[in-house]
Structure 1
């Protein structure tokens, strides 16, 4: 009887706890519906095109509220009366503080009119009826402050990734009502972000092409694009078997994407983004016109900016760093700050407590702290407060990914950094002095390229590899390894890295990849629950930073040129900023290789004018050489 009574009490307790949890979840999920009204409007731009805009207005009309706006190519759904998002705004704090929150489908996407242009070019000298994303943003803000009730006249913009690009756009020739903008993981230039890195095509992103390149000219609330299907779970073998890039053209014809089309020309490319990529292999006027970094001299001092980026963001690392630096360079009077944390793409907007990137653990509540103490404070100060430059926030709030701690600086990179050259010496040594000039050879076998990950999988966009253990690569004969002795004191890098390689090849073309790696001590026992089963932190080779340069672009991204076979040649590769302490007992390692597959496409290793049109016969195995007067220029914090 006692047992039955105990079981009954326990059951009632569990049911009560479960109901309480459900009630809390339901309460959380209905916060927006309980506290906001939603209105969908189509706002006419100066050229007559109407952009679909969703406005969430607080039911509390006892005071005026600022407007927080995100413009996006990824849909402002859910569409329709009574259908509401369960989370709005940059974070839960700003949502619960009852700001007016606006989402807009950009021109040509989803429910907006017009035709979409990927990274639509900015027109500095527009006529009265000409439009671009700058004018679309201006016209939208103008309508909002004049037509949305109970707004206080102050507008802030934010967005992550592509929406981050539109947040950057909002700052150029900005509307007077725009007081604060936070471009986050913002695309700066598609020749250096996302789909290309220094001219090398990011093959691992090929399935995302149709998301941006499938034509549409009428509003729709349903997806009009379809993703190519891979008949394999092994992406390395899939792309290796496909061969030259031109063999992927079939995946970008409408009939192959389950889109109705009566034509059956197998050589036709219907996807306009894929066509743009394949027809413009160099940094020509098409790509140059779309890049936004060079226009950031037009950000007025009336707009405060907070640029946010992830130190291990595989998609958009170039964009936020170059955006911050460009505004800093041109806007001496601007309030411009940088937040640079231990995140992959957009992870700072998530609510998870434990902060992992792939196998690597950086700490707890890192994203939550950013949302509450940095992001919310920034928007409140400039949209609700007096908006002066005394925001209480640092100029640069950056995370030391080696020590796993935040630091604040008055300028980025910090003032007390010096440039140091470390040489790629013989016997796999990385030394602070040049010991000799020798040649180290390796064979770059076109049939057995170096994988970027040892995982057997297919991914839509790769992220985990940014902190992957690089032991699998270090043990290949076509990867050159150089490392220091065990460090006797901490060694902190703060800023960009420049690999100054001296190389040669038996061919006329080659890619060059440089990786900076933190080799952990053999006696390390700091394993974590997300570490893959086959790994240990003992001797873990943490990739701190990596980058590729398509060798043809070593002197100019606009005007490529072949290598002269067997001639010693300078190849300089800029690796984006890091803030990382190699701790005492660790080692600094550099890896140099020529393939990174299928993260980037295969270089034929014989020069052709357009790699996207190369034939099978153009691909040849070559012998590459790295000379020991090559060095890595570090920005070292003293």
Structure 2
């Protein structure tokens, strides 16, 4: 049965439910009566320095015998429910905050929902603001300043948190410079939409996510086209076939958007990493972070894993004395805010990792900096090793204890830790835009979240996917740290994409197990550990793309998300290489051009070669964490 998708697919449900899980879901141990009984709600229009007023909902404890710090979230996704007689189910990042007692503040950012002003995407940070100049950092400053002066029974301290786009606003709070802001937690923060977050990865458009999100978001803004937006008459149960039928990115306007979705058109106007994108890279301005920061991300976050890692790194490198902590768990986007993350897809984690994080890391962090509670031992970096199902702590990330290593592609589909010795060795495949490699096996209507650790056997069976693997490991191997792909390739056309996957192959003798009332066929399971794409024309510069010289061996080098993962004894390490990942990514026509202007007839088959010979040693550069350098972080509930 065909169904109508009104741009609120599973991925958006997960995005917004994870962001607001802590105060929206009925599975929480409260109904609205708890919040209503213990808190008084007021709504304010708080003035900014340029006269624009921002809608703000404030929930203050009814017990006024003591003073309280603020917990603040600024969002473009609505601070509903609206009305001083309307209450949410819970307040703050997790239920612990609701019962503890804070002054909770939720603010619609400029130009969104009930706030005044004009909305702009990933508003650029302005250094040395003068007069009425404003950005998200100054709006945060002005809001905090008003709250401190006008809300009674506050203790003069403010904590800020946010997931995804609200994570971007949290990062801006860390840059706001208001002395009352003591602790900030950017969680999966939007950081750079061309290099690694949401919209693009290494210049390649994340088609399926962007097509869905842009339409929904255009309908939620106060912009001039809001009342003109027609229903998106997209009916499909098979996302692969739907986007294949759409054929090109420009046809989204022709068939569906009709130039009424502003950000989609903005993307089409900026196909390269130009000044527009560069101005929105907030990492450039991270040199004056004063509050303590808790940066949170998920290794299986399909949207903003890049943002979490790079926000932490930028704060760390530019603020020598800042208390900056990184948490990377086994989570999809916002999964750490959910009620239970003891598994993702077919992969079990052994315990409820999200609840543990909420109680043992997030809550104590804010309690310490806002209420002077003792801070339990909190390492500089705490990362989850899914291979061993354990937390590992580090005094820094990436740790100096990591030993540099390379996984080399080799003859006979082998992966080795030693360079190839052959003088004329390569594998090749034909990349056909009319038959791209799917991102996940089976028929899917919505993108979902499980593809990040899903079984890759569906891809290994395709002739346009190269699969290489080690022999069976005779001991555990923990791969750790930064990851870089160094691929020596040739292309019969003038452009191509390159997707690299790092995969854990279970023994054929592994026993099946049950998860979510499903029997998982564990023998030979190929669990995705990390994956990333590089749009080939950006291999030397994201600002100035270059064509390939047909059939000439060329180095394509790019970063893959950081790894901490133990491949157990008896398992194998697999590497896969392919040139499409559809419809997660838009299809490269494999002809050098502005892809956002490509016509259906521009898309051509291409022969791709991956070289693994002495002078062209394709490899994945990473590191090995020795067993005696691992620091298991004890978990107690």
Give TM-score scaled by structure 2 length: 0.90
Alpha-carbon distance in 2 for matches of 1:160, 1:227: 28
Alpha-carbon distance in 2 for matches of 1:228, 1:491: 49
The alpha-carbon deviation at position 454 of structure 1 amounts to: 1.0
Of 397, 403, 415 in structure 2, the residue corresponding to residue 430 of structure 1 is: 415
Render the CA deviation track for 1:405-448: whole Å, top value 9, x for unaligned.
11222111222101111210011000111232412111111211
- The residue aligned with 2:120 is 117
- The residue aligned with 1:294 is 284
Contact 1:215–1:272 at 8 Å: present in 2 too? no
Gap change, CA 1:232 and 1:24, over 3 Å in 2: closer
- The alignment status of 1:475 with 2:453, answered yes or no, reads no
Contact 1:155–1:383 at 8 Å: present in 2 too? yes
The alpha-carbon deviation at position 24 of structure 1 amounts to: 11
The alpha-carbon deviation at position 526 of structure 1 amounts to: 5.0
Aligned length: 593
RMSD of Structure 2 on Structure 1 (CA): 2.1
- The residue aligned with 2:140 is 137
Gap change, CA 1:606 and 1:218, over 3 Å in 2: closer
Contact 1:381–1:391 at 8 Å: present in 2 too? no
- The alignment status of 1:596 with 2:581, answered yes or no, reads yes
- The residue aligned with 2:180 is 177
Render the CA deviation track for 1:547-574: whole Å, top value 9, x for unaligned.
0000010000111111010111000121
The alpha-carbon deviation at position 335 of structure 1 amounts to: 0.1
- The residue aligned with 1:151 is 154
Gap change, CA 1:233 and 1:425, over 3 Å in 2: same
Q: Which secondary structure state, in structure 2, belongs to the residue aligned with residue 469 of structure 1? A: coil
Q: How does 1:260-279 map to 2 (within 5 A)?
A: 269-279=259-269
Contact 2:119–2:223 at 8 Å: present in 1 too? no
Of 505, 524, 529 in structure 2, the residue corresponding to residue 519 of structure 1 is: 505
- The alignment status of 1:318 with 2:306, answered yes or no, reads yes
Render the CA deviation track for 1:229-285: whole Å, top value 9, x for unaligned.
4221101011111111111113554xxxxxxxxxxxxxx512110011111010111
Give TM-score scaled by structure 1 length: 0.90
Render the CA deviation track for 1:371-405: whole Å, top value 9, x for unaligned.
11111100000001179xx6631111111110001
Gap change, CA 1:241 and 1:531, over 3 Å in 2: farther
Q: How does 1:478-557 map to 2 (within 5 A)?
A: 478-530=464-516, 535-557=520-542
- The residue aligned with 1:8 is none
Of 399, 416, 424 in structure 1, the residue corresponding to residue 401 of structure 2 is: 416
Gap change, CA 1:25 and 1:386, over 3 Å in 2: closer
Alpha-carbon distance in 2 for matches of 1:187, 1:251: 29
Of 611, 625, 631 in structure 1, the residue corresponding to residue 595 of structure 2 is: 611
Gap change, CA 1:149 and 1:218, over 3 Å in 2: farther
Gap change, CA 1:25 and 1:612, over 3 Å in 2: closer
Contact 1:58–1:98 at 8 Å: present in 2 too? yes
- The residue aligned with 1:583 is 568
Of 562, 567, 577 in structure 1, the residue corresponding to residue 547 of structure 2 is: 562
Render the CA deviation track for 1:482-521: whole Å, top value 9, x for unaligned.
1100000111012121110000010000000000000011
Alpha-carbon distance in 1 for matches of 2:461, 2:321: 51
Q: Which secondary structure state, in structure 2, belongs to the residue aligned with residue 30 of structure 1? A: helix
Alpha-carbon distance in 1 for matches of 2:411, 2:470: 12
Render the CA deviation track for 1:310-336: whole Å, top value 9, x for unaligned.
110001110000000110101110000
- The residue aligned with 2:254 is 250
Alpha-carbon distance in 2 for matches of 1:568, 1:532: 46
Q: How does 1:345-356 map to 2 (within 5 A)?
A: 345-352=333-340, 355-356=342-343
Render the CA deviation track for 1:528-558: whole Å, top value 9, x for unaligned.
323756x511111010000000001000011
Q: Which secondary structure state, in structure 2, belongs to the residue aligned with residue 297 of structure 1? A: coil
The alpha-carbon deviation at position 215 of structure 1 amounts to: 8.4
Of 424, 429, 440 in structure 2, the residue corresponding to residue 453 of structure 1 is: 440
Of 322, 336, 339 in structure 1, the residue corresponding to residue 327 of structure 2 is: 339
The alpha-carbon deviation at position 226 of structure 1 amounts to: 6.9
Of 46, 49, 53 in structure 1, the residue corresponding to residue 52 of structure 2 is: 49
Of 38, 47, 64 in structure 1, the residue corresponding to residue 67 of structure 2 is: 64
Unmatched tracts of structure 1, length 5 or more: 1-22, 254-267
Larger radius of gyration: 1
Gap change, CA 1:395 and 1:27, over 3 Å in 2: closer
Render the CA deviation track for 1:103-148: whole Å, top value 9, x for unaligned.
0000111000111101111111322111111100110010111111
- The residue aligned with 2:430 is 443
The alpha-carbon deviation at position 25 of structure 1 amounts to: 8.1
Q: Which secondary structure state, in structure 2, belongs to the residue aligned with residue 502 of structure 1? A: strand
Alpha-carbon distance in 1 for matches of 2:266, 2:248: 17
Contact 1:215–1:271 at 8 Å: present in 2 too? no
Contact 1:439–1:626 at 8 Å: present in 2 too? yes
Q: How does 1:621-632 map to 2 (within 5 A)?
A: 621-628=605-612, 629-632=617-620
Alpha-carbon distance in 2 for matches of 1:49, 1:211: 25
Alpha-carbon distance in 1 for matches of 2:295, 2:515: 32
Q: How does 1:22-101 map to 2 (within 5 A)?
A: 28-101=31-104
- The residue aligned with 2:217 is 212
Gap change, CA 1:363 and 1:24, over 3 Å in 2: closer
Contact 1:422–1:631 at 8 Å: present in 2 too? yes
Q: Which secondary structure state, in structure 2, belongs to the residue aligned with residue 599 of structure 1? A: coil
Alpha-carbon distance in 1 for matches of 2:288, 2:229: 35
- The residue aligned with 2:8 is none
Contact 2:113–2:220 at 8 Å: present in 1 too? no
Unmatched tracts of structure 2, length 5 or more: 1-25, 627-637
Contact 2:168–2:190 at 8 Å: present in 1 too? yes
- The residue aligned with 1:406 is 391
